[in-house]
Structure 1
Amino acid sequence: MTRRTVHAAFGAAVALVLLAGAVPAQAATGTLRPQLEAITAAGMPGVFAQAADGRRRESAAAGVADVTTGAPTTPGMRHRVGSITKTFTATVLLQLVGEGRLRLDAPIGRYLPDHAAAGVTVRMLLNHTSGIADYDHVIFATDASLEENRHRTFAPAELAAIGLQQPRTGEPGAAWAYSNTNYVLAGMILERITGRTVAHEIDKRIIRPLDLRHTYLPGTAIRIRGPHAAAYIPWYGGVLLDFADYNMSWAWAAGELVSTTGDLNTFYRALLTGRLLRPALLAQMQTTVPWVPGAPEYGGYGLGLYSNLLSCGLVWGHDGLVLGHSAISWHTADGRRQVTVAQNMTHYVAPGQPDPITDATIAMLNTQLCGEQPATARAAVRPHLADQAILR
């Protein structure tokens, strides 16, 4: 594997998959395990997933959770799911909008006077059009900083200040530019309005009502509760360093969540079928900024939720990547067809290099959501999953 420098920004690296010809989805019964084995055969140490079609759920795993002991991955493992946290954070904020306690188009200075940014609204934070820069390339400026920050606690205000002090990526509302600073500020707004922590509100409003028994925000606790895989990054000398134990305060409301593939499927089905948000608020969440300027039919980023074009049409969800753990959770618009996949190695390929792991992952996602595709289907744009930034 190619050693990749890790101090790239951990901004969005969403897979944009454009396939020729939309065809009806057909069930892909019994295909999950062989497709996960194709991912491990391509070089991923361990992978596990859950696919769903209505009430039918299929869970499977392949490869190893620990390369030293050879312990296998299992479908129900806990996993750091990175920026999938953003969908949870945005959902709570939209619930506050529904309660009349927050306005999407209010300037953020109304809620955070000490962190005001001229022209930036709450909506711009949630759809990444604020122009506020990311903080990650500062706190992870070198490979050594990954170890140096393993036990460090970052305060949200500290992360926000770092991002606000960096050169802007653009004018407010002008263009989409992924920045985790946006969701740190969003989390601070959530706490200012409710008087409670982000973890408390997500637990009260989402985790407990949906009975997501293996989902939580760990705060400064470095160890993942329950069974989990190692979190590998290829290091110098061909070794794999394990980053599973980590103080995730650096990600907070932008990417701190621990969950399982089953819990995430439950969450996104509840979200897309209206259990968590009224129709008007879900419509706001699904109002997107296009990935491809002038071509909204290919999908785009909404309020903590994105759409992506597959061969059978648009799917909805989010992906996440932190140090050594990555996850993708995609769903049809009605929440019926679902797939969530988790992998235990990141930052394994240099930009522009062949990436058979991503190719096999995209093939699995497309088959599970769209069924077997005709030979005429082809990728018109290379997926961006290989652009593995620190937190996505």
Structure 2
Amino acid sequence: MRKPLDRAALDAAIADVHRAGLPGLFAEVRDGDRVWRGAAGVADVATGRPVTADMRHRVGSITKTFTAAAVLQQAESGRIGLDTPIGHYLPKLVPGERGDAITVRMLINHTSGLPEYLPYAYPSLKGFPVLADTRPESLDDHRYTRFDPVELIGMGVRAPAAGTPGGPLGVYSNTNYLLLVELLEQTTGIPAEQCITRNVIERAGLTDTGFPTGPKIDGPHSRLYEAWLGMIDPPRDYSVYDMSFVGPSASLISTVADLNHFYGALLAGRIVSPSSLEQMQRTGPVVSQEGRTIEYGLGLYPMEGPGEGVFWGHGGTVWGGGTLAMTRADGGRQLAVAVNLQRWNTLDSSGTPQPHPIDDALATFHRVAMYG
């Protein structure tokens, strides 16, 4: 049985996450025409400035849903073939047999076998995806670095493969989505940011979502605190950062209200066609950057819990910030939540991340928000 939106329970659950150790978080939950917005904690640990539910936030890989939607729109118009090899479009970036074997669809659903480029762009992350084998120094070294996306793609393409194109188990990789960005630019003849803004952001009617024009976040926002598994103590603010290291694959700035509007519009068929949406919701197993195996579609993944209905959406992280946006398949219930601390778990002597009270408190908030 579906439970109605319980404002008191949501107020208590979001406050519990702050009490568990998260500096600040804010969220919006929608249930039909009823809306709850809440915030707990601080946006600045030095001044005590509080977080508010209308703050702008770096949403990380939630951007991938926007990018995937833009690619699918081009496929609907016949300009891009989802099962056409990427080497047909970008032979210089993915040459030879690899370019012939990897299709556009494999890039969108992370089954291309192309590895993550970040450990090569950020030398102290060379142990990635095993975070215990990494160090955070490169985060400071590259705070204002302006990366060339073609060079980043080259790092991923030249690195040892993470799998076989179209294989049974995908591996999540930003290399895939930087290639999709290049594909959009070649197909449309305009920058990918402009294409996504015009065809996705504006079509969804979003007024507080856009790509950064510099290292700062415009408008009211929180500082973003990175702990890097206890290696940065106290956690350091990375809210000012050049996001060219991920570009239009993960650099969007938005609000929790806009994210709910976007996923509501997407699942209602107002961004891509019903057939494209159905393809976005065809999933297969993909190893996430946290090492978990998730079901992943074309820029979307599902979440199921103790209540009725499957939720669809995406999560995202940046240095210091995290976001999750999930909408029930029928559009009737939505959650978007933003947090201003990342990688809060410390490591034990074997290098294994240890449970933290934030984990359980945040999971409880998600459960209350999505299922009542």
Deviation readout 1:157-216 (Å, 9 max, x if unpaired) = 011001111100111011211001000001110111001111101111122233311110
Per the alignment, do residues 75 and 147 of structure 1 end up closer, same or farther by CA in structure 2, a change over 3 Å counting? same
Q: Matched residues in 2 for 1:49 and 1:71: separation?
A: 17
8 A Cα contact 1:288 1:299, kept in partner? no
Provide the alpha-carbon RMSD of the alignment.
1.6
Number of the residue aligned with 1:15: none
SS at match of 1:110: helix
Deviations 1:119-157 (A, max 9, x none): 100000000000000011122232221111111111110
For the pair 1:336 / 2:332, whether they are aligned, the reply is yes
Aligned-residue offset at 1:299: 6.9
- Cα deviation for residue 237 of structure 1 reads 7.2
5 Å matches for 1:265-280? 265-280=260-275
Cα offset for 1:248?
A: 0.2
Partner of 2:130: none
1:253 maps to 248
Contact preservation (8 Å) 1:299, 1:309: no
Whole-Å separation in 2 of the counterparts to 1:323 and 1:132: 23
Whole-Å separation in 1 of the counterparts to 2:254 and 2:232: 32
In the alignment, does 2:343 pair up with 1:347? yes
2:16 is the alignment partner of 1:38: yes
Q: In structure 2, what is the equivalent of residue 303 of structure 1?
A: 298
Aligned CA distance change for structure 1 residues 244 and 279 (closer, same or farther; 3 Å): same
* Contact 1:27/1:368, CA 8 A, preserved across alignment: no
Q: Is 1:137 equivalent to 2:119 in the alignment?
A: yes
Higher relative contact order (CA 8 A, sep 6+): 1
Distance 1:216 1:140 in 2: 26
Whichever residue aligns with residue 280 of structure 1, its letter is S
Paired letter, 2:6:
T
- Tell me how far 1:331 sits from its aligned partner: 1.2
Q: Which runs of 5+ in 1 are unaligned?
A: 1-23, 293-297, 372-392
Task: Confirm or deny that 1:233 pairs with 2:233.
Answer: no
Counting aligned pairs with the same residue, the percent is 42
8 Å contact kept, 1:25–1:369: no
**In the alignment, residue 309 of structure 1 is paired with which amino acid?**
E
Q: Distance in 2 between matches of 1:305 and 1:58?
A: 24
Point out the more displaced range, 169-178 or 298-307: 298-307
Partner residue of 2:105?
123
8 Å contact kept, 2:57–2:338: yes
TM-score relative to the length of structure 2: 0.89
C-alpha displacement of 1:291 = 5.7
Corresponding residue number in structure 2 for 1:109:
87
Partner-residue secondary structure (3-state), 2:367: helix
CA distance in 2, matches of 1:32, 1:196: 43
Aligned partner of 1:186 among 180, 190, 208: 180
Give the letter for the 2:301 counterpart. Answer: Y
Q: Deviations over 1:349-385 (max 9, x none)?
A: 13431122121111111122112xxxxxxxxxxxxxx
**In the aligned structure 1, how far is the partner of 2:263 from the partner of 2:37?**
17
Q: Distance in 1 between matches of 2:15 and 2:113?
A: 41
- Residue pairs, 1:205-244, within 5 angstroms: 205-219=199-213, 221-234=214-227, 238-244=233-239
Q: Distance in 1 between matches of 2:34 and 2:240?
A: 34
Q: Is the CA contact 2:171–2:286 (under 8 Å) kept in the aligned structure 1?
A: no
With normalisation by structure 1, the TM-score equals: 0.84
Contact kept, 8 Å, 1:81 with 1:327, in 2: the verdict is yes
Instruction: Flag the 1:27–1:141 CA change in 2: closer, same or farther, 3 A.
Output: farther
Counterpart CA distance in 1 for 2:286 and 2:79 is: 31
Equivalent residue of 1:327, what SS?
A: strand
Runs (5+) with no aligned partner, structure 2: 125-135, 288-292, 347-351
Cα deviation per residue 1:288-337 (whole Å; 9 max; x = unaligned)? 11369xxxxx9710000011221124211000001001000111101210
1:197 — aligned with what? 191
Cα distance in structure 2, aligned partners of 1:236 and 1:83: 24
Structure 1 residue 28 corresponds to structure 2 residue 5:
yes
1:300–1:308: 8 Å Cα contact kept in structure 2?
Answer: no
**How many pairs were matched up?**
342
Aligned to 2:133: none
> How many angstroms apart in 1 are the aligned matches of 2:370 and 2:182?
36
SS in 2 for 1:114: coil
Q: Aligned partners of 1:63 and 1:247: how far apart in 2?
A: 26
Match of 1:12 in 2: none
User: What secondary structure does 2:92 align onto?
Assistant: helix
Partner of 2:283: 288
Q: How many Å apart are 1:115 and its aligned residue?
A: 1.4
Give the deviation of 1:271 after TM superposition: 0.1
The one of 124, 139, 142 equivalent to 1:149 is: 142
Q: What's the CA shift for 1:25? A: 2.4
Contact 1:92 1:205 (8 Å CA) reproduced: yes
Per-residue Cα deviation, 1:220-277 (whole angstroms, up to 9, x for no partner): x000000000000136573221000000011112211100000000000000010111
Equivalents in 1 of 2:123, 2:359: separation in Å? 26
> Bigger CA drift: 136-145 or 243-252?
136-145
SS in structure 1 of the partner of residue 342 of structure 2: coil
**Conservation of the 8 A alpha-carbon contact between 2:316 and 2:324:** yes
Cα contact 2:204–2:271 (8 A) shared by 1: no
